[in-house]
Structure 1
Amino acid sequence: MKGKLQNKHLTPRLHCHCNLISDAGLKTALSDWDSDMGSTERLKDSTDTLLNGNRGDQEGARRLARRLYHLEGFRRSDVAKHLGKNNDFSKMVAEEYLTFFEFTGMTLDQSLRSFLKAFALIGETQERERVLIHFSNRYYQCNPTVISSQDGAHCLTCALMLLNTDLHGHNIGKKMTCQEFINNLEGLNGGQDFPRELLKALHNSIKNDKLEWAIDGDELKKSLSELADNKDNKSITRISSGSNPFLDIAHDPNAAVYKTGFLARKIHADMDGKKTPRGKRGWKTFYAVLKGMILYLQKDEYKAEKSLSEEDLKNAISVHHALSIKAVDYEKKPNVLKLKTADWRVFLFQAQSPEEMDSWIRVVNSVAAMFSAPSFPAAIGSQKKFSRPLLPATTTRMSQEEQLKSHEAKLKHVSTELAEHRSYPPDKKVKAKEIDEYRLKEHYLEFEENRYEMYVKLLKEGVKELLIGKDGDAGLKKSQSSPSLNQEGQPAAAKVKRNTSERRPETPPKFT
């Protein structure tokens, strides 16, 4: 995918998690709460309270939503915090609030303009994302034939926000063209392309008339553009996939920790498998932390309470749709594993022992197998040039059994396609470029076959073996074994058990 925002902006996800903890008993509407845990909060002009932000009932949510919409006792800047919290009651409030908006027959940009003028969209990045998800769901509910899925509606909503920032922000440089906008959204409408005419109309609308949103004077301290570029907020941020501005991943500070330990890293290939320049290939030692679907490479040992530095985020690697194997073709150092990412970057990592190398390979592949969302179908077009399908960075919504079936189906499809591809080799008289395209596709299919074979093998071994490492190291926690066990919840931080070889030394080990 080509697009000017690839390295410039941070991007929204296709979906986010909401922690659904239901508990009946609230009597009336609720107001301002600033934390999800540890406090008892009170409504303005009311004697009712909210315990820990987790109690709620439908009638209370309906009353609060009505007051928020009509701004009865609330400012515009108060609204978003009640719609974007990560608990069951806030979700109910948001759903009730959106029922006051009728988007039927309206275009997405018209609906978004109407929505953003009703209140000030401020707060933490994840809170604002949740609000946009509620908007997207409501738009899809009102216009189910315009966009093929709720995820597609949310993706396009976030794309409009980014486009607005790019076209009307204070950034310097060439603005995103309509064609770049279309290219960046290829395959993101439930695996299909959005209608070209729809995207052209949306691009022209945002280009000619920027999105405006409600402002409450001094109350609005953070602009909506921070959704795309939030450099000051280091606790919740995004890590670029480097391949498409609409597929980047969120850093979740509450994600489970699956494995830690010292690793020496060498960058072998950049995005799309391009050889890394010689001056950037050197070995460098890090303290590695596999947290959620992100492998963080830090200078210092992991501390849960310590915020990540800009350098830590820069070095982070997403393991969604990745494959880790022993680097049998690298003989200069022992205990080296190879990690190939979704955007075809290649990293070499040296572990402290053969056992540690095997453990890292198993845990990384297990996380990728269990949590990577199903890939989008390959784009269908008349061009002869081969392009790899997009691999979404979102977490799967499937149960463990559904995930296994999905991987098995994908493996069967890839194996069949590889066999068909090999049955029609290019003629010796064709141009060298066509031969290169043939080999590129063959290489891709071979890799995908190996990747899905590994995923299927690991999932067939069973949840128990994956949750509890055979060598006693950090396994995948039961609460994280399958999204079906906690489909809407954010992963809780998991304590890591270590064997003797994994205990944190005071100083980094020396790698040979």
Structure 2
Amino acid sequence: MGSTSNSTKNTGSTTTTTTTAAPATTAKHSNSAPTRPSVHYYSSTGDIEKLSNLLNNSATSPDTPDSEKRTPLHHAAFCGSAACVNFLLDKKANANIKDSAGNTPLQWASSRGHLECIKLLVEKGGVDVNTKDDKNGTPLHKASLFASAECVLYLLNGKADPRAVTTNGETPLHHASAGGNPQCVELLIKADSKVNAVDNDCITPLHQASFSGHSSCVSLLLKKGAKVDPRDIHGISPLHNAASAGYVDCVEQLVRNGENINCVDIEGVTPLHHTCFNGNLQLTKRLIELGAKINMVDEMGETPLHKAAFNGHKEVCEYLLYLDPTMIDCRDSRQSTSLHLAAFNGLLDMVDLLIRYKAQINIKDEEGATPLHKASFNGHSSCAKLLVDKGAPICIVDSQGATPLHKAAFNGRSKCLATLIRSGAELEVKDSQGGTPLHNAAYNGHSDCCRILLKKGANVNAVDTHSSTPLHLASAAGARDTVDVLIQFKARIDAKNFAGKTPLVYAIKKNHSDVARVLIRAGADLDQVSLRSSVDFTKTFGTENHDEIYQIVNKRESSNHEVDELQLALEQQAKEDMEQLAAEKQKLLLIKAAIAQFNSHPKKGIEFIVANGVISEKNPKEVAHFLLTHSELSKQSIGEYIGEGDDFNLQVLHAFVDELNFFGLDFDVALRKYLLTFRLPGEAQKIDRMMEKFASQFYQHNPENKVFVNQDAVYVLAFSVIMLNTDAHNPNIKKKMTKAEFLRNNSGINSGDDLPPDFMENLYDKIVTNEIKMERDGNQANQHVEKKGWLTKQGGRIKTWKKRWFILTANCLLYYKTPQDHEPCGIIPLENVVVTIDPQKKFCFMLHSSQEQMKACKLNSDGTLVQANHAAYFIAAANMAEMDSWVQSIKSNIHSNPNFEQLLKRKAETIRGRGKVSTKPIQNRKQTISGPPPSTTTTTTSTASNNVTSVGSPPNSGSVLNSSGSKPVTFSSTSSPVQQQTSALS
């Protein structure tokens, strides 16, 4: 829905403000020549004489549209020029013509309250008073929100439907309540508009009036029979809305009429939680006077004090502690106190206040982290210094043996690191994995922190429990600057860990060619490197660097047979007219190099294979045969390559599948065989192409089957089985799909009919009892995680700000309540997304779509993912550097994928094959109450929200989507940073 000026609505997901501006020709009334067609300009300014001259003396039609399909009559109606409206109607202008948003001139006139124009359009133009725009909004909807009671009365007398609903389920009474006109509210109720009508999110007119602070409308609705305690789909009541938005009068009316002052939503949040989170001291006091309990906890175990402390609202905290000083050390579900939250957010004044109120300074949360750990992890040096000055032990350890200095080093907080060192932090203390702060800084490539630690005397060659030095970790991470610093401070270039590997081994293994060059120039011993023939060097340096590699290898002993092989291979690769290798040993060497190249860059790998004669020509059948007959090839790279949409890749895919024999195989056996040959890629379009070909091949190889009517049924069932396999065998999924649910999910896919029940039940049993083992290339769960960390997101239902753990991976932004959670709260595909900086809030950026609605998902109360209702996301970082880093990372992941719903649509098309029940694609949820969309611009307001989760200790885990793109897979992260370091060296 749209709106004109200054109208907001609390929807189930976001609060947006939609401003209906005047047409472009009238946005600025100046003497300059108009930039749009003059006929529109004169219509909007009401200059009938010039309008008449233009229409009479040219071929210009009175129905000439502008770029938004708005005619002169639209402009005249919007600007309230009754004389122009009358003139244009005399000129036979089409009064029923619609603009690009489906609005007639009557919708425009109604949205601005131009009664004379409304009358002319209805009585002279013959416009139906119940005409609908593209969102089913009628003129009465528009007038109810923005216009006078006279306009509403005229439309009602003209038989306008008072119960008409928009696509979001909103009635004119919803709009009038949000607009705050009690006369319109009363007229609509008298006309039989339902006072307790609910929209698609179960929001009532009373919700709207309460959130907008229209106390007169609240009073009238209650008087006319509105229920005082309705709940929307999130358990939000009108009292929650009024308290969150800060309207004392509305709160008092609702409580006087019987609403429970301590009512909770589905997350256990009370109205008092909202006022404390927003720092509204006046309303907080009033709620408590009315009986609000100050020690109630939400589902995260947070009290109102947690909420106030999290956002640094000192006066609210002081008032709560004055009433109950024992709240000072209340713990949430993660055992965090208010002091933990304030320290984590760097709220110096709040930290000082809580300490003065005797908060325990060394109290630990569930991970053993103290407030000093929290402040150090986020780099809040002033808070860290204050905590140390007030008695916090500087070398206190958490459950992983990490000190605050470990945390600061791990997260690259150089200023805080220096502060802790000046305060006496020990440099060589080791965590449970034997890692020092220098290990942590080196592992994450924080060269500035490394330099500070080394200048203060940290041991550059310290070893952890695996005997790895900081140089091992920095080399494995590809942190060239850090490697340079460590070498400057005399790090042992050829130090070996318990695996017998040097830093150079890891640099080459991880394909960090720049780091490998630095180490080699610094004198790294090449004899310590097991080259596996030419594979690692070729993969690291690229075959184009033949001369450089030759010179590097020449430094080794000339008698080394391995070097001779490498030299020979590189010489052969460097020749444009590569000759046939004479010896089988040399041929194998070349194939290994080719495999390494393909595994790193599939397309370049195929070019390398062809250019070097591994296959005779770039023929789809030969390429497919090569992919199927070399087990060392990465299954992931194969999946990515054959899933591409280029003509040659498609030919390879068809040749690849044509080589597979599905004759006489049961459906599940064929699918198992197919999924062993590659790893499913993450993109829907690629999966679609690959499963399409499988369905075709299986159907053609089994012409006598009595199960499938066509290959479409094979296609849909294959996807369904993959989902069942993930559901049945993923330990993170607690509620498993039943056999009845599996059958119901696949009803009608056989060209409108059901597949045989016996076949389906047997298939379910096979999958549940015998997992389909999809090929993987080792442990790649966190391979594509590009960035992760804590950010604050503007909330879903009522607009507070919530701390969430974000993960950027595979062109998606996922967010969780805690790093330990297996299920994301939401998934934001970075498709057609625009990133802009929001100047209204510190360190805040906005994600919005180039389309009308963002294609995002959120976790419903029943644990299912549904489409979210965000026109935009507002996200804030802790500081400018973090904001810039996130913005750049997100921008690099933004992509465009027009086929976002193609899989759902395919199933719908299959079911519609014989006219059975159709499956609609997920529908966009609501926006806000709408006015005439023609010249609207949408922004999102920073109004209050409902619930904020408290932060735990520094991130300890993350999750990414598994290979089938469904439920998340959890992996260990930074509980102890050295645990990550160990996996990095594997």
TM-score (norm 1): 0.40
Greater relative CO (CA pairs within 8 A, separation 6+): 1
User: Rg: which structure is higher?
Assistant: 2
Identify the structure with the greater helix proportion. Answer: 2
User: Structure 2-normalised TM-score?
Assistant: 0.22
